[in-house]
Each structure stands twice: as structure tokens, then as C-alpha cells.
Structure 1
Amino acid sequence: MDAFQAERRYLGAVAYRLLGSVTDAEDVLQDAWLRWQSADRSAVADPRAYLTTVVTRLCYDQLGSARARREAYVGEWLPEPVLTAADSPAEQAELGEAVSVAMLAVMEQLTPAERAAFVLHDVFAVGFDEIAPVLDRSPEAARKLASRARRRVRDGGRRGPVDPAEHHRVVTAFIAAATGGDLAALMELLDPEVAWHADGGGIVNAVRRPVFGALRVARLLRKLTTRAVDPEHPLLPATVNGELGALWYAAPGTVGCVMAFTVAEGRITAAYVMVNPEKLGHLATE
């Protein structure tokens, strides 16, 4: 098998975590494949390291222009979600640690160099000696970039580690309460300062700014589930970026919404809701 094809899944995982977009990651892989075809492969001692460098540099270039595009985006820009399967331990190691939608959203605050250093080191365990030439920095500078990014991600992300079983319990209860329109049950599951983030891209109706507070979010949810969820296609549990989330189908075979959540102390602290059809087209259908 060609070295590029052998590493394609891994390279796609790197590109997605760097860009937060499945579509953009696919474009990067296509460009990387073209460069691989024209490369002097006899001079490539380690194809994975070489291709990781190529993909990272392509993503690094895209991150600068992507920031400008997102400033002109209609409403809040959220990363494209992916529906993940229960891979084997070997496959999980191959694809790096799972990166939640919440973490990808927080990573939007990082500079391109910080994001690249953080993703390569903390997610894929790439050494700083290998990261440094990719970013045209010294190993020590790359280490500082990753450390700064790690601190910013921690400060802007979860309140603390969450037991997967607890996350599963809370999200399962949320799906049941939202589908049943049970406002009281929803209020019990929502943190008083819960944040609701939605991305409709100006194509589908969605709040354009985050909504804060349990009562406001619960009322919004009840309105949305009453209007949008077809009883024949209810809100369903789904593994979103490695964590339990939810999805529903706008029509048979067409994913209309994907939800991801953060949970702390038995309550949902944030919801990330993707309804932009341009960011859902890559998902598997019924």
C-alpha cells in the first residue's frame, strides 16, 4: 500500500483537530497527496513524519485565513462535529486522543502556532524536536507554545475531569427530558449558568449569540423540540467527538442537528448545537 494511503486516516485526524472542519481537512489531504506524488520519496526516511509536517504546514497556512473568514460568519462559528465509533484501543491510539466539540471551540482562541504545538504534542504525542521545524521555532519555543495553549484550553474549558459514566447518565436524562418537553426535569439537569451555543451559518434559524442561564435555555429547548423534532425521528443518543451527545434527522436519511455537551457536578454546563446543513453533510445517514 502507498505510504500516503496507509497514513491517510491518521493524517485526516491531525488535520481535523487542527482546523475543526472535516471539509477543510479533506481539502488539505488532497493537497498533501499531490505534494506526496511529486516528492522525492527516496529522500524520505520516515513517511509518517514527513507527511505530518506537510499536513501541519498546510493547516497552519489555512488557520490564518480561516480566522478572517470566521469573523465574517453569520452567527457563532462552531467546529464541525464528527460521529465517532467505539474504535479498538489500537485505533484510538492511532487517531490520537479524542477532542471534544467544546475543546475544539476553545481552541479557536489559540494562535495558529499555539494550536499546532498543542495538537501535535498533547493529542498525538509528537515530540518538540519534531514540532519545532514544522513551526520554524526552537524546541523550547515549541514547548512554551504548547504550555501556553494548554493553560488557555484549561482556563476556557471544563471545570474539571468528568466521569464518562456521569456524562452518559446526564446526557441520557437530558435527551429524555428534552424529547418529552419536561421543563422541570430539564431545569434539574442544567447548570444555573449553562451556556447554549448554536451554529446555523445564516442558513438555518439558530440563536446568533450564546444564550446563558438554565431557565432561558430550558425554554428555548422546549420550543425547539416542540417545533423541530418529528416524533418519527426523535432526538437520539450518538457519540459525538468521543463523548455522548445527541442528533435528530430533519428528514429520513438527513442529519438536521447534532448536539454536544459538557457536564460538571451532575449538570450540563454547555451545549454546542450544530444545525448548519453545510457542516452536517459529511455525517453518516440512516
Structure 2
Amino acid sequence: MIDVGSPSADAFEAQRRYLGSVAYRLLGSVTDAEDVMQDAWLRWQAVDRSRVAEVRPYLTTVVTRLCYDLLGSARARRESYYGEWLPEPLVSEEDSPAGRAETGESVSLAVLTVMEQLTPAERTAFVLHDLFAVGFDEIAAALGRTPDAARQLASRARRRVRDGGRRGAVDPAEHRRAVSAFATAATQGDLTGLLAVLDPDVVWHSDGGGIVTAAVRPVHGAGKVARLVAGLAARWLTTQARTSVRFAQVNGEPGMVWYESPDRVGGVLAFTVLDGRITEAHIVVNPEKLSHLV
């Protein structure tokens, strides 16, 4: 239990949001990130703080090493996962510059999914350097590598993320318009409207974890995705009077949240948009990955 009145607790709490953001981007799991934060707190309690020159770099190294240890076993679990494994989504009402200053660069569900292809060392170097501007000397110390090796890991990871589909920033207004057009067409069962906003080569990813019915493999092509979405909308929005869909920021980008009831999230949808059309959609309906949302 944290003694919130102690100087050590004050020092840790001052870094909590930042450290939690690092852990989430390294692990792609809110639940695992929270476990890491608890372990980091216990280690912080035990350390001789008179030997800690700077709190943030020290705690960043602690959290990084804990996450690094988890990444290997997490990969093994995800390889045996039922269907596609998608990260746990972060949902907020809006994205603000002040929030980004403490939580690092926003990372979409699409990019987090691509990052699953990286080795633990590549992912760590990429996240710390590219998303949080941590220096290579510090990264090297956390990984037990040389600074040059850490730089190469980040470079290789950056290339793999780019090749895996990461695109440049899209105008938020353009992104929002595409999501709004998708929502309107989906809720009205408008196949023509869906086909207009979906890229011909759109890919639909879904994660039900074997708990909730969802496509086990990605669905490709505007026609197939449009019919799938129309069917899902008909089931979600007409069979249960208390369901609703709301717009929200999903991992820093315009997305949607489906509510089974006013206080129960049934699914989160995130989108990748290019030239005004949706090129990828990621939907998380596994309730175990939505338990942190209210």
C-alpha cells in the first residue's frame, strides 16, 4: 500500500502518468502496464533514494526492464491467442497538447499492432527514443547494450513499423469526417455509403478473444467489410434498445465506442484514414480488454 504522504510517494506519483504511458506503449496492455507500475513502486520503496541522482531516468529504467522481461512471455501468450490479438484501447474525450506532453506521442491501435512484430529489444528502443525522446545512452543502460546497438535497434524498428503500414499524420478533421461518414452509413445500414468511405482494399481487424463472436482472421475488401459492418450494426443497434455509439479519441485519433448500456462498453473501434477513406479498422470487443473503460 502506497503511503501517499511520504516523500518517496510524492516523487513516484509525480512520474506516474509518464511511466504508465511508457509501460502501455511497450506492452500494448493497460492491465499489464498497471501490474508493472505496482512492481515499480515496490522496487522504488526498497531502493536507497540517496543514491538516485535523477528520479525520472531511474524510474524509466526500472519500468523498462520490468516491461522487457514481460515482452517475451507476452509474445508466447499472444501466439496462442484465439483469433487476432489487438492491443487494449485507450479512450478519451479529447486529445490535448498538455496531455501529449506527459504521455508521449499518441500511438494508434494500428501501429501498436504492427509493433507486435518487433523483437522486445527493438520495441523498447523504438518506444523510448521515437515516442519519448529518451537518449540512446539511457536506453543502452536499460537494455544492457551499447549506445550504438540501441541506435541500430531503434532504426531497424522504425523501418519495420514504416514498412508495416505506418503513415504520416492525417489531418484530424479529415479523419473525423471519415469516421462520421462511416458511423452514419453503418447505423443506417447504408451499403452505398459504406462503400463510399471505405478504401477498396480496406482491412477489418477484430478481437473477441474467443469470448465474444468476432472474425477470427482479417476481412479484406470494401464489399466484404461493408456487408459485415451492416450486419453488425443491425444486430447491435436494433436488437437492444439501450445500445448506443459515441465518438471518442481512441489512442489519440478519432474513433468510436459502442455501449451495450449507458455504463457498459461493448466495443471500441479505431480507424486508419488515407485520402479521406478508411484503409484499416480495428475493433476490440473482448470484454477482458475493455474492463478498464467505464
TM-score range, shorter chain: over 0.9
Which sections of structure 1, spanning at least 5 residues, go unmatched? none
Q: Pick from 20, 23, 33: which aligns with 2:31? A: 23
1:159 is displaced (CA, Å) by: 4.4
Q: Which amino acid is 1:261 matched to?
A: F
- Name the counterpart of 2:250: 240
User: Is residue 2:60 matched to residue 1:41?
Assistant: no
User: Is residue 2:145 matched to residue 1:168?
Assistant: no
- Name the counterpart of 2:213: 205
Q: Which amino acid is 2:70 matched to?
A: Q
Give the whole-Å Cα distance in 2 for the aligned partners of 1:118 and 1:72: 25
SS in 2 for 1:193: strand
User: Is residue 2:77 matched to residue 1:69?
Assistant: yes
1:89 is displaced (CA, Å) by: 2.6
SS in 2 for 1:235: strand
Q: Which amino acid is 2:262 matched to?
A: P
What does 1:83-102 correspond to in 2, within 5 Å? 83-86=91-94, 88-102=96-110
Q: Pick from 229, 254, 259: which aligns with 1:249? A: 259
**8 Å CA contact retained: 1:160, 1:264:** no
User: Is residue 2:259 matched to residue 1:259?
Assistant: no
What does 1:125-144 correspond to in 2, within 5 Å? 125-144=133-152
Q: Which amino acid is 2:16 matched to?
A: R
1:158 is displaced (CA, Å) by: 3.4
Q: Which moved more, 1:233-242 or 1:200-209?
A: 233-242
Give the whole-Å Cα distance in 1 for the aligned partners of 2:151 and 2:145: 10
Q: Cα distance 1:68–1:36, how it changes in 2: closer, same or farther (>3 A)? A: same
1:231 is displaced (CA, Å) by: 5.1
**8 Å CA contact retained: 1:158, 1:262:** no
Which sections of structure 2, spanning at least 5 residues, go unmatched? 1-6
SS in 1 for 2:84: coil
Structure 1 vs Structure 2 CA RMSD: 1.2
Give the whole-Å Cα distance in 2 for the aligned partners of 1:243 and 1:160: 13
Q: Pick from 214, 220, 234: which aligns with 1:226? A: 234
1:185 is displaced (CA, Å) by: 0.3
Give the whole-Å Cα distance in 2 for the aligned partners of 1:235 and 1:252: 10
Give the whole-Å Cα distance in 2 for the aligned partners of 1:86 and 1:173: 19
Q: Which amino acid is 1:23 matched to?
A: T
Q: Which amino acid is 1:161 matched to?
A: A
Q: Cα distance 1:35–1:159, how it changes in 2: closer, same or farther (>3 A)? A: closer
1:139-174 CA distance string (max 9 Å, x none): 111011001111111111234432211111111111
- Name the counterpart of 2:18: 10
Q: How many residues align?
A: 284
- Name the counterpart of 2:288: 278
Q: Which amino acid is 1:74 matched to?
A: Y
- Name the counterpart of 2:162: 154
Q: Which moved more, 1:89-98 or 1:100-109?
A: 89-98
**Identical-residue share of aligned pairs (%):** 69
1:108-131 CA distance string (max 9 Å, x none): 000000000000000000010111
Q: Which amino acid is 1:271 matched to?
A: A
**8 Å CA contact retained: 2:95, 2:252:** no
SS in 1 for 2:91: coil
**8 Å CA contact retained: 1:179, 1:234:** no
Q: Which amino acid is 1:112 matched to?
A: P
Give the whole-Å Cα distance in 1 for the aligned partners of 2:241 and 2:273: 27
User: Is residue 2:192 matched to residue 1:184?
Assistant: yes
**8 Å CA contact retained: 1:175, 1:236:** no
